[in-house]
Amino acid sequence: MVPERHVLVVFGATGDLAHRKVLPSLFRLDRSGPAAGRAIVLGAARAGLSDEEFRASVRKSLIEHGENPEDAGEWVSRSVFFQSLGDTGPGAFATLRQRIESLEKQHNLYQHRIFYLALPLPAFPPTIEAFGASGLNRSKGWTRLVVEKPFGHDLTSAQSLNALVHRFFDEQDVYRLDHYLGKETVQNIIAFRFGNSLFEPLWNRDRIRQIEITVAEELGVEGRGSFYEKAGAVRDIMQNHMMQLLCLTAMEPPSVLDGNAVANEKVKVVQAMEPLRPEDVVLGQYAPGTLNGKSLKGYREEAGVSPESRTETFAAARLRINNWRWQGVPFFLRTGKRLPRKATKVVVTFKAPPAAVFNPYIVCGMEGNRLEITLQPNEGFNLSFQTKIPGQGMKLETQEMRFRYGDTYGALPEAYQTLMLDVMRGDRTLFVRNDEVELSWERFAGVVDGSLPVHEYPAGSWGPAAADRLLASDACCWTDL
């Protein structure tokens, strides 16, 4: 589907997110495919820049991201403009509206508009209010609002923000962006589950023992200490990114692949999930340690971090989904910074067969088959199974079948590129609906209130030892990544 021609306004256009992700993705969409030549990009920020000054900064960013200088220069000269918002008062948005209308007239566009908020969370409410005051929330064509996560910082703030957005925009015009949903490997969870008759009949409590979802990072806060102090691992990763992975892994097949049908099934998963109890959660914070022979400082020693900080850099949780498919199957989530390696995986462990006949011959332990869905890096699948060792009687050991996306398809599209094309097309399948956001915050209410203890763990380890107790009652352990 070819998107209709439109003006795309990037708020916070001089910031890191815009230059690192949003603008490079818009450039790549313009170079090939159905979105080529479909968007006029208007950067908006407080800075008092001219069109040419902003274009020079965008051109520099694109070149730093490996783009061809000649192609970058051609695109910014043809399609990129800038409007200063100054103090962002009412007059600034009236002027912004005039500039948008001028560009639409100049380029013969029919008032189709996308507003992308590449802004910090506190800037969302005044910006959305300004849309209403200036009339920018409505047009003769369509108007779409793109909001980056986090959408609120708890249930109350999420509800307030949703109410504010709905004062000025219809829900069908709101695109809550979680970049994890733009990853090809995340979307492929749906294709893998529902497109293969080999796995779908086994995807239930009768055949699956446990499911683990891990988002591990080698890096620390990398100069973002002041931001992370207000977020922490639960708000930054678990409540949004990991909940999306859980919902796609656990949901029922949608009737059709569109935004509302997929959202309906994801919401049912969260509705069936028990609120997290204190005994279901372990929080941690990295202390000084060593990784790959390099000494690493602790979180409290990072710039912008309080020396008495209780902000968690690690979180592990045991979740229960009380529906027909998943009753009794534990879902284990863990995420953390300064872990031994970067990895995002969904690991499905099937129940072991009742194969007592093999007990005298097992070499490595008779385990259930295991499916590892690797979302990054080295994207692909591993499926473990038991084989007989040749020439040694009936001795068994575990082997794996492997598939890697890079071997078959080469480089995968960048997540923001996928999501921005969907916004242009009006496809909300990969975006998060308002009720899903609020339900998720509700389930995590007892985890983000600051009442839980925070355990230290050495940087370079797999987190605090206390996280192992979450799995102890199920007689299992975290999968070795």
Specify the DSSP element, H or E, that contains 453: none
Q: Are 447 and 236 in contact (CB under 8 A)?
A: no
Instruction: Please identify which residue in the block is written with the tokens 């793109």.
Output: 146
The verdict on whether 112 is a catalytic residue reads no
- Residues 287, 336: contact at Cβ < 8 Å? no
C-beta separation of 299 from 308 below 8 A: no
| Catalytic residue chosen out of the listed positions 19, 112, 241, 455 | 241
Contact at 8 Å (CB) between 9 and 114?
yes
Calpha distance 464→278 (Å, rounded): 16
Q: Which contiguous run of DSSP H or E holds residue 440?
A: helix 434-443
DSSP string, 193-210: HHS-TTTGGG-STTTEEE
Which residues touch 361 (CB under 8 Å, ≥6 apart)?
Answer: 393, 394, 395, 396
39 DSSP β-pair partners: 6
CA 381 to chain centre: 20
CA angle 21, 80, 43 (to 5 degrees): 65
Contact between 456 and 287 under an 8 Å Cβ cutoff? The reply is yes
Indicate which residues carry an active-site annotation. 241
